[in-house]
Amino acid sequence: MCGSSTTDIYKEFRDELVGAGLLIPSGVRGVYGRSGVFENVIEQFERYVTREGAPQKAEVMHFPPLFNRAHYCSINHIHNFPDLMGSVHSFTGKDREHAEMLRKFEGGEDWTQDLHPSEVMLIPAACYPLYPTATGTLSTEGRIVDLKSFVFRHEPSDDPARMQIFRQREYVRLGTAEQALQHRNDWVKRGKAMLESVGLQVEAVVANDPFFGRGGRMAKATQREQDLKYELVVPICSTEKPTAVTSCNLHLDYFGIAFDIRTADGQPAHTACIGFGLERIALALFKAHGLEVKAWPAKVREILALD
């Protein structure tokens, strides 16, 4: 299993996963194909989430992994996480410009400066595309929305749990400050219990987001001070640096103001989400119980209907 050198423990586990055929390397760090066995673990964990979330009677809104560029520009991701962004560019010229771009392409020059930014960015979090669609006034009950998407983070890494593209399954609450806080707090507990029930060693900790640069230090301090975000962490390769597999986040009225979402009494709505990192949860399960799903503990196989 994972070795003792801190530089190698990630590569070792990645190589085991690749050797077992669970992940298929693409040649780019953090971008893998998934085997049928891996996909089935994710599908079954998702069904567990759906069962646990059923009493909420959430609306389902599953977005593809693209985010309207204009909406991206309405939030502060470019301030806080510019190094993680994915901006989608395409070619919009005619024959003449095409010939010039091909000349560069074939001559080994940089041809990408001939592209233009498209109308879209890659999604940084599964719930972002929801908020711009929610502009307007909520009922007194507010809303609960079930989201799922591939999300992108440009952070090439040998750690198999730090993928550049992975799926998040979320439940988002839109409503009053109390409704949002309760959602966040309920799901910290429920999410922790769910992960424990499938044999993972989980701890809830205050989040430690990788805000960018000098300006990010203040954002980080504010996040911690206001007690906004909890992560459910599980040791995957490292017990000293356990991996966040789920996060429970209170946004206060940030999205309510950015996208003019209001409560029934006209105040900016508060929002909160729980996001399950599905690939990380699958990896944590493979680490805890071994690479052969058939050999996992009976109770875990039963909860995840893996027989």
* Cα 70 → chain centroid: 21
Q: Which is nearer to its own copies, 44 or 133 (CB)?
A: 133
| Residue with Cβ nearer its own copies (127 or 304) | 127
Least distance (Å) between residue 22 CB and its own copies: 11
C-alpha distances out from residue 125 to 25, 77, 197, 307, Å:
24, 11, 26, 32
In the complex with its own copies, which residue's Cβ is closer, 129 or 175? 129
Closer residue to its own copies in complex, CB, 33/297: 33
Q: Which of the 8 DSSP states describes residue 58? A: P
Distances (CA, A) of 55 to 58, 125, 146, 149: 8, 24, 12, 22
Distance, in Å, from the CA atom of 45 to the CA atom of 102, rounded to the nearest integer, reads 46
Give Cα separations from 94 to 52, 98, 147 (angstroms): 53, 6, 39
Q: State the nearest-atom distance from the C-beta of 146 to its own copies, in Å.
A: 7
Min dist CB 102 to its own copies, Å, is 7
CB of 111 to its own copies, least distance (A): 8
Q: Which is nearer to its own copies, 6 or 105 (CB)?
A: 105
Nearest approach, Cβ of residue 282 and its own copies (Å)? 13
In sequence order, what are the residues at sequence separation of 6 or more whose Cβ sits closer than 8 angstroms to the Cβ of residue 54? Answer: none
